[in-house]
Amino acid sequence: MSLETYESPLGKIFFDVSTKGVTALTFKKPAKASISSDINPPLAAKVRKALDQYFAGDLDALAKLPLDVAGTDFQQRVWKAAQKIKAGKPISYQSLALKIGNRGASRAVGTALGKNPVVLAVPCHRVIASNGGLGGFSGGLNKKEFLLNHESVKH
């Protein structure tokens, strides 16, 4: 098993890597972890360093990690668009739907973000409700609020 844990200000973060990239980065223990002799210790060390840097104020540190995530074509489009959201500049589910060219897909965007296996690297916490409410977050709304506050502070 290559499942790793990282102690963050928000509690444990679980992550998994393959030879190609990060396959999981989440606040909940993934149901499946890689069972492989081809684990990537240098990448696991990079993930730890990127998490250290992120929580120390380098809000782009996790965006530099290579990803190896599986998902539908729609999920991949949503996740790629979410990766472009700048720290401290949250957008609405509706705005993200428009960015992927699917005006009526706000709920589907939310569903795709809920299945994001690499939270923080694909910063789904930066997507909020049109009314300014938090919306949802697989790690819990208290973590989403912490992350948004962390990213709104000038470092």
Catalytic-labelled residue, pool 25, 119, 122, 124: 124
Catalytic annotation present for 6: no
Q: Write the single-letter amino acid at 94.
A: Q
For 6-22, b/e burial (b = at least 16 CB within 10 A) is bebeeeebbbbbbeebb
Strand boundaries in 9-147, DSSP class E: 11-17, 22-26, 91-92, 127-128
CA distances from 20 to 117, 127, 133 (A): 15, 27, 36
Q: Please list the active-site residues.
A: 124
